[in-house]
Amino acid sequence: MAEKVTLVGGGLAGSLMSIYLAKRGYEVYIYERRADMRSGNYVGGRSINLALSTRGIRGLAKVGLDQEVLDISIPMTGRMMHPVQGDLKYQPYGKEGQAIYSVSRGQLNIKLLQLADQYPNIHMFFNYKCTAANLETCETTYTNENGETVVDKADVVLGTDGAFSALRDAMQRTPRFNFSQNYENYGYKELEIVPDANGEFQFDKNCLHIWPRKSFMMIALPNPGGNFTCTLFMPFDGNPGIDDLKTPEQITVFFNTHFPDAVPMMPGLVDDYLQNPTGMLTTMRCYPWVKGTNALMGDSAHAVVPFYGQGMNCSFEDCIVLDECIEELGGDWASVLDAYQKLRKPNADAIANLALQNFVEMRDLVGSDAFLHKKKVEHTLSEKHPDLFVSQYERVTFSTRDYAEALAYGELNDRVLESIIQNGWEERLDDRAFVETLFADNK
Ligand SMILES: Cc1cc2nc3c(=O)[nH]c(=O)nc-3n(C[C@H](O)[C@H](O)[C@H](O)COP(=O)(O)OP(=O)(O)OC[C@H]3O[C@@H](n4cnc5c(N)ncnc54)[C@H](O)[C@@H]3O)c2cc1C
């Protein structure tokens, strides 16, 4: 009889992993706390759209969903910076033809669930909230919408239940389980830039728009309907602080002062601000990710702040790596899960750090001429010597090499860039031998 794998949570990682497992012939059970999104009653909990990049696309390609998802996505080839006054500034993310893709979280999850539904060995249960887990017996307990308690027993349990994972809760009560959770003093509000009277985008749709304001920022990602989902990230109790904007007047004055070009396109601004929940930003790390034949994946193992646009991409990569471990090590689950956690943990830690670093870059540095000059030098180097220089952003976003490698090379890149800029060597970048020496000297 085929082994049974239970997935706690049918979000992005859970629904993708279920398909990988079904293709390998396992009996797969998914228990999802929310209602079935496909029935149309999906209420987006957080972030309406997400930036999908190379790692995530690779995860989807393994189940043949990449093109279908790209077809409902909008490519963003670079950042468009909006100063309070003055001209917009554009900075490409990578080389010609490289882009990240804005996709609806709900639609992506629905596509994955629709595909999962085509496998007779995937069994999905919605409105089932996991309330307990016995890590020794692989039994997980659920409360369903009728208030009934249901116990599931499996050979393997995977916690794909997000940042506030019930499976991780059970692991936290076992000896030698490390866990840390750090909240930023920042909250976020989702808002909207609407289409114009003809249903068209009011800003360039192929960019991720940023309004960097040093201690806070707003970003906007395009949606296929001609609108943008905006997210304001701001300290809770700073000056200005998210908690200080309480009245329609305060909100209007604040946005007119800091985002004057966007306000006329945000007719629902005050209502959205007052009615939409304030999201929180947290980094969660833990280890081990495996206890017996129970394992954590995606945000349950490593919730990161969203500033590199990699949480989902990294979670899809977890699925790829676990699948590769199964391929390599067969049905020996102890070895499979151990290999998986050892391969992924350093990379999860690296992307957590990279995401924190990128927050400073996005809200503060991208607005400055010095930063844009540095990016230009970076771009020239990677165009002229693609084998010598790959920017950290490209390594993270447009490659599938380890995040840990991107973090390490980023530091070397920074030293090289600093020496070029400080010494005014921008004119010497055609000289390959010179660039090689720079790298050697800065190692
Ligand atoms: C504001 C914001 C912007 C983001 N932008 C990006 C981006 O641009 N690019 C990117 O790659 N990532 C982004 N992310 C990160 C991304 O959302 C997550 O990394 C990704 O959703 C993780 O997938 P997951 O399946 O592990 O968790 P989730 O998507 O959270 O799915 C977990 C699932 O488990 C279910 N569940 C939870 N508890 C239980 C329970 N007790 N019982 C049963 N089911 C349960 C939930 O209902 C949910 O369906 C962003 C995150 C935020 C907050």
Quick one: which of 199, 279, 187 has its CA closest to 233?
A: 187
Q: Is the pLDDT of residue 48 over 90?
A: no
Q: Is the pLDDT of residue 197 over 50?
A: yes
What is the pTM (predicted TM-score) of this model?
0.96
Preceding peptide of 240 cis, ω within 30°: yes
Q: What residue segments make up the domains of the chain, in order of their start?
A: 4-79+96-181+283-358, 183-280, 368-442
Q: Is the pLDDT of residue 338 over 90?
A: yes
Tell which atom from ligand 1 comes closest to the C-alpha of 298.
26
Order of strands, edge to edge, in the sheet holding 4-8?
A: 122-126, 27-32, 4-8, 156-159, 294-296, 290-291
Quick one: which of 107, 143, 102, 100 has its CA closest to 125?
A: 143
**pLDDT at residue 360, as a whole number:** 85
**Average pLDDT value for residue range 220-241:** 94
Distance separating alpha carbons of residues 107 and 114, to the nearest angstrom: 10
Three-state DSSP state, 373: helix
Fold of 4-79+96-181+283-358: FAD/NAD(P)-binding domain (3.50.50)
**Average pLDDT value for residue range 196-220:** 96
Q: CA-CA distances (angstroms) from residue 250 to 93, 181, 280, 402?
A: 35, 33, 22, 45
With a pLDDT cut of 70, the percent of the chain lying above it is: 98
**Average pLDDT value for residue range 178-203:** 97
**pLDDT at residue 42, as a whole number:** 59
DSSP 264-277: GG-TTHHHHHHHSP
Kindly report the protein residue whose alpha carbon is nearest to atom 48 of ligand 1: 11
* Lining residues, ligand 1, CB within 6 Å: 8-14, 31-34, 46-47, 50-51, 129-130, 160-162, 166, 188, 279, 298-299, 306, 309-313, 315
DSSP 204-245: -TTEEEEEE-SS-EEEEEE-TTS-EEEEEEEESSSSS-GGG-
**Average pLDDT value for residue range 128-147:** 98
CB 283 within 8 A of CB 357: no
Q: How far is the CA of 389 from the centre of ligand 1 (A)?
A: 33
Interstrand relation of 178-193 and 279-287 (parallel, antiparallel or unpaired): antiparallel
| Burial category of 123 from C-beta neighbours within 10 Å (exposed 0-12, middle 13-18, buried 19 and up) | middle
**Average pLDDT value for residue range 29-54:** 83
Q: How far is the CA of 353 from the centre of ligand 1 (A)?
A: 19
Quick one: which of 335, 280, 273, 283 has its CA closest to 305?
A: 283
**pLDDT at residue 238, as a whole number:** 81
| Burial category of 264 from C-beta neighbours within 10 Å (exposed 0-12, middle 13-18, buried 19 and up) | exposed
Q: Is the pLDDT of residue 339 over 60?
A: yes
Kindly report the protein residue whose alpha carbon is nearest to atom 19 of ligand 1: 311
Preceding peptide of 75 cis, ω within 30°: no
**pLDDT at residue 26, as a whole number:** 98
**pLDDT at residue 43, as a whole number:** 54
Distance separating alpha carbons of residues 143 and 165, to the nearest angstrom: 15
Residues 6 or more apart whose CB falls under 8 angstroms from that of 439 comprise 388, 389, 412, 416
Phi, psi for residue 420 in degrees, rounded to 5: -65, -45
Q: Is the pLDDT of residue 46 over 70?
A: no
CB 60 within 8 A of CB 118: no
Quick one: which of 50, 68, 42 has its CA closest to 13?
A: 50
CB 231 within 8 A of CB 189: yes
Distance separating alpha carbons of residues 345 and 303, to the nearest angstrom: 12
Q: How far is the CA of 166 from the centre of ligand 1 (A)?
A: 14
Tell which atom from ligand 1 comes closest to the C-alpha of 15.
25
Q: Give me 363's structure tokens.
A: 């809200």
16, 37, 48, 50: residue to mutate for ligand 1 pocket, most atoms within 8 A of CB: 50
Distance separating alpha carbons of residues 164 and 299, to the nearest angstrom: 8
**pLDDT at residue 232, as a whole number:** 97
Please report the sign of the dihedral spanned by the C-alpha atoms of residue 156, residue 157, residue 160, residue 163: negative
Quick one: which of 96, 95, 101 has its CA closest to 390?
A: 95
Q: Is the pLDDT of residue 423 over 50?
A: yes
**pLDDT at residue 41, as a whole number:** 61
Tell which atom from ligand 1 comes closest to the C-alpha of 303.
19
pLDDT tens profile 286-306: 999 999 999 999 999 999 999
**Average pLDDT value for residue range 198-213:** 97
Distance separating alpha carbons of residues 11 and 411, to the nearest angstrom: 34
Q: How far is the CA of 303 from the centre of ligand 1 (A)?
A: 9
pLDDT tens profile 387-421: 999 999 999 999 999 999 999 999 899 999 999 99
